[in-house]
């Protein structure tokens, strides 16, 4: 596969960011990296609360509103446009809606060659990382560890419970030609 777009899906604290950085280092061509966290950080401060935007509730549950959904669709479309313009892009995402989230991506990707990557991590391992990070709502990592993969079809999967980021990146890179 000659991918122009690599979409990496996994729960919070699963190790996606480390894998993406390692992947950029091991791939021969230059790849741009973007994260759903970058998108969330770009949202205006007034767009909080689940009725409009984005909210992290008790136990790390994430709720999104219609304005968030609209802007996220525009963000996805922009990333795909970068691929169409000649860039190679890696996206670090969290499919809170499982297979439905993947379908929303498919709706904008069209004919752009895409490699779908699942990053798995045992809930207890992700929870330990979350605690060590200290910048996430407690419970988010364990709560997302399994649901983000429900109904999602991947080209390659890695498990950071048992492998280092660089090893995962090398596995993924073997699928990118």
Catalytic residue, chosen from 37, 155, 159, 167, is 37
Structure tokens at 166: 């660089």
Question: How far is C-alpha 152 from the chain's CA centre?
Answer: 13
Distances (CA, A) of 15 to 46, 162, 169: 30, 11, 11
CB-based contact 161:120 (threshold 8 Å): yes
Q: Is 37 a catalytic residue?
A: yes
Angle, vertex CA 61, rays to CA 95 and CA 15, nearest 5: 50
* H or E, element range at 172: helix 165-173
Burial of 48 (0-12, 13-18, 19+ CB in 10 A): middle
Radius of gyration of the chain (CA): 16
Cα–Cα distance for residue pair 110/96, rounded to 1 Å:
22
Q: Which residues are catalytic?
A: 37
């Amino acid at each position: 596969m000659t991918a122009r777009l690599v979409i990496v899906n996994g729960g919070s604290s699963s190790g996606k960011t480390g894998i993406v950085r390692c992947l950029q280092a091991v791939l021969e061509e230059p790849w741009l990296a973007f994260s759903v966290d970058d998108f969330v950080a770009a949202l205006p401060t007034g767009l909080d609360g689940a009725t409009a935007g984005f909210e992290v509730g008790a136990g790390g549950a994430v709720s999104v509103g219609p304005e968030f959904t609209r802007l996220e669709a525009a963000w996805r479309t922009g990333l795909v446009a970068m691929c169409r313009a000649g860039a190679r892009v890696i996206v670090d995402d969290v499919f809170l809606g499982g297979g439905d989230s993947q379908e929303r991506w498919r709706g904008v990707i069209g004919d752009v060659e895409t490699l779908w990557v699942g990053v798995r991590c045992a809930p207890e391992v992700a929870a330990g990382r979350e605690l060590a990070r200290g910048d996430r709502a407690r419970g988010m990592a364990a709560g997302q560890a399994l649901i983000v993969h429900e109904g999602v079809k991947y080209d390659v999967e890695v498990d950071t419970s048992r492998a280092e980021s660089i090893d995962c990146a090398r596995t993924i890179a073997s699928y990118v030609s």
